[in-house]
Chain A
C-alpha cells in the first residue's frame, strides 16, 4: 500500500476517513477518559455534543459509500503520465485494476463489518446521550460510567478498522 499525494484518486474518501477516525473516534471519544466524561456531565458539558456527533455519524455513513475510491483504478484518470494513452487502453487498465482491487480488498465484507460496528457505536451513543443530556444525578453515576464505557468500547472496535489498515490510508496498488 502506498499513499499518493497529488495523484491520489481518493481525496474524498481520505477526508471522510480522517474525520471519522481522528475527529470523532480519537478526539471525541478515545481522548475522553471516564473521569472527564463524568466531570462534563456534572458541568452540563455534554449539551450540544449530540448534534456534532450526528453530523459525524452522517460523515461516517458517507465514508461507507466511498470505500471503492481506494482502488488504484481511480488513478488512471489522475496520473498525468497516463493522460496521453488511448481511451481504450485506459479503460482496459481501469477494468483490470478494479478487478485486482477486488482481490486485494474485500470491500463488501469490509463495508458490512464497518456498518455493523458503526451501528453499534451509534446505538451506544444514543443510549449514552439519553443520560448525558439530562442533569447530573449522583446516584446514577455508575450507570453513566457504564454507558460511556460502552461508547468507548464500540469506538475502539470501529477504530481498529482504521488502525489495522482494513480501511486504507491511501490508494491501494496491486
Chain B
C-alpha cells in the first residue's frame, strides 16, 4: 500500500534543517521505505507550499506534519486537510498540542499523534491493518481511539455481552479495561459510559453559542 508523507519543511532529505521533528519524520520515511513492503512517497507541493494530494483510487495512508504557524498557514492547513479525499487515512503528526487540537478541529476524523509516539514499525503495522481493511490506530495512538472499549460498551448497552462465550467476554473485558485505564486510570468498566464522555446530557440548541471560528 502507498504511504504518503507531507512535511512543512519539504522532502529534500539533503537540505539542512534545524527542526528535529522534521528530521524525525524524514528518518521515519526512510525506515519504512527500507523495511516494509509498502511504498513511500512525498506529497508534492508547489513553491508556496500548497499540497497536491494524490489521486488514489485505493485506500492509502497519509502522514502530515502540518504548517500551523501564522494565519496564512492556518488557512492553508484548513484547506489542505479538507481537500484530502476519502481514500486517505490521515495521520497528523506534531509535537505541538495546539497544532494537534487545531488539526483535530479541522479534520475531525484524523488521528493526531505526537512525534514522540511514532516509530517506523508502528506505521508499518498501521499500513498493514489498513490494507487488511481494519485500521488499527492503537498501534500509533495508544489510548487515542478506544475501539475495543466502544465495542464492549455497545455490546453491553444492547444487552449482548452475555451472548459471548466466557473466554471471549473475558478477553474483551480485559482489553476494554486496558483502554479505559489509558483514559482514566481509576475507572472501572461498570461506568465505562461515563468515562467515555457519555454522561454529559445532550446539548440543547442555542442561538448564542460561544464557539468562535478559527
B108-147 vs A, CB cutoff 8 Å, 1 = contact: the mask equals 1111000000000000000000000011110001001101
B151-180: CB near A (< 8 Å → 1, else 0) gives: 111110111100110000000100100000
Q: Is the CB of B110 within 8 A of A5?
A: yes
Q: List 18 A-B contacts (CB under 8 A).
A: A1-B202, A2-B198, A5-B109, A5-B110, A15-B86, A22-B82, A22-B106, A25-B213, A26-B214, A79-B147, A79-B150, A81-B175, A89-B160, A92-B160, A97-B154, A160-B209, A164-B205, A173-B196
Task: List chain B residues, Cβ under 8 A from A18.
Answer: 82, 106-108
Q: Which residues of B contact A (CB under 8 A)?
A: 75, 78-79, 82, 86, 89, 105-111, 134-137, 141, 144-145, 147-148, 150-155, 157-160, 163-164, 172, 175, 193, 196-198, 200, 202-207, 209, 211, 213-214
Q: Which of A6, A82, A96, A173 contacts B198 (CB 8 A)?
A: A173
Chain A positions 69-103 with a Cβ under 8 Å from a chain B Cβ: 72, 75-76, 79-83, 85, 89, 92-93, 96-97, 100
CA–CA, A83 to B154, complex, Å?
13
Evaluate contact between B153 and A15: CB separation under 8 angstroms. Answer: no
A96, B196: Cβ atoms under 8 Å?
no
CA distance A61 to B211 in the complex (A): 23
Identify which of A5, A14, A75, A82 contacts B111 (C-beta below 8 A): A5
Interface residues on chain A, size class = 35 or more
A163 to B214 Cα, complex, angstroms: 13
Pick from B108, B175, B200, B214: contact of A14, CB under 8 Å: B108
A-B pairs with lowest CB-CB distance, top 3? A26-B213, A163-B209, A81-B151
Contact A93-B202, Cβ < 8 Å, known A2-B197, A6-B135: no
A31 on interface, CB distance cutoff 8 Å: yes
Interface presence of A19 (CB below 8 A): yes
Nearest residue in B to A11 (C-beta to C-beta)? B109
Decide: A92 near B158, CB < 8 A? Known: A81-B172, A157-B207.
yes
Contact A76/B197 with A6-B136, A18-B108 known, Cβ cut-off 8 Å: no
Tell me if A161 is interfacial: C-beta within 8 Å of chain B: yes
> Is A7 engaged at the interface, CB distance under 8 Å to the other chain?
yes
Task: For the complex formed, measure the closest distance between the CB of B179 and the CB atoms of chain A, giving whole angstroms.
Answer: 10
| A82-B154, A160-B209 as given contacts; A5 in contact with B172, CB under 8 Å | no
* Closest residue on chain A to residue B89 by CB atoms: A6
A104 to B75, alpha carbons, bound, how many Å? 35
Contact call A15/B82, Cβ cutoff below 8 A? yes
- Of B137, B151, B153, which contacts A5 at CB under 8 A? B137
Indicate whether A48 reaches chain B with its CB closer than 8 angstroms. Answer: no
Residues on A with C-beta less than 8 A from B145 are: 4-7
- CB-based contact B206/A163 at 8 Å: yes
- Which of A7, A15, A18, A25 has most B Cβ within 10 Å? A7
- Chain A residues with CB below 8 A from B109, complex form: 4-5, 8, 10-11, 14-15, 170
Closest residue on chain B to residue A161 by CB atoms: B205
Docked-complex contact A160 and B197, CB < 8 angstroms: no
The minimal Cβ–Cβ distance linking B9 to chain A, given in whole angstroms, is 26
Smallest distance from the beta carbon of B208 to chain A beta carbons, Å?
Answer: 8
Are the CB atoms of B213 and A30 closer together than 8 Å? yes
